[in-house]
Amino acid sequence: MKKLKKITILLLVTVFPLIGKSQFKASVGSEVTSALDDFSHYVSYGFGLSGGAEYNFTDKFGITAQLGYIYLIPEARYASAFMMPMQGGLKFYIESKENGPYISPIIGAHKLSITTKDYVIQRQTIPEKTVTKTNASYGFGMGYLFRAKFDVSVRYNIITDDDGNTSSYFGLRLAIEF
């Protein structure tokens, strides 16, 4: 308990001076993804929308949170698929938080859902089945923020399941900040 109290005090002493220089930003964007590795056996690419929030502590550093919905184009044996990335991360601006390039490590979770098609074998129908899982994810992104508050970013995400298997995808996001 004493250790937790010391860590809390240390965090407050460190973070409190930075809060005065902070700025909150929000964004709405469109996403396009392309499945890689084993993930491409289930889906090929996807598209969707996402919302983001950013809290800047300094001119070159902030924390981010993002939630999205991406409809995935399934391979032939599947009826439908989607994923919901829920991630947070850090954002390091090379020039400033107003414009220019940045890098962003991210961590969070992905809710994945995939539905099989109905199959008929010897006049017996095997009904469709939906499997939904929420798995841990992490990745790395980079982007460019234009002065007109237009943000273009790319990211590489890795999704891990309970068995240690991984899936990955490449994503592109075009967003407007306000």
pLDDT of residue 5: 61
The number of domains in the chain is 1
Q: Is residue 9 part of a domain?
A: no
Residue 150 has pLDDT above 90, yes or no: yes
Q: Residue 62 belongs to what domain range?
A: 20-177
What is the per-residue pLDDT across 56-84, written as a single tens digit (0 to 9) for each?
A: 988 899 999 999 999 999 988 899 999 99
Q: Is residue 30 part of a domain?
A: yes
Asked whether the beta carbons of 12 and 4 are under 8 A apart, the reply is no
What is the per-residue pLDDT across 3-20, written as a single tens digit (0 to 9) for each?
A: 556 655 655 555 555 555
CATH of the domain at 116: 2.40.160.20
Q: Is residue 12 part of a domain?
A: no
> Which positions ≥6 away from 80 have C-beta within 8 Å?
74, 114, 115
Q: Is residue 14 part of a domain?
A: no
Q: Is residue 4 part of a domain?
A: no
Q: Is residue 11 part of a domain?
A: no
- pLDDT band of residue 127 (cuts 50, 70, 90) is confident
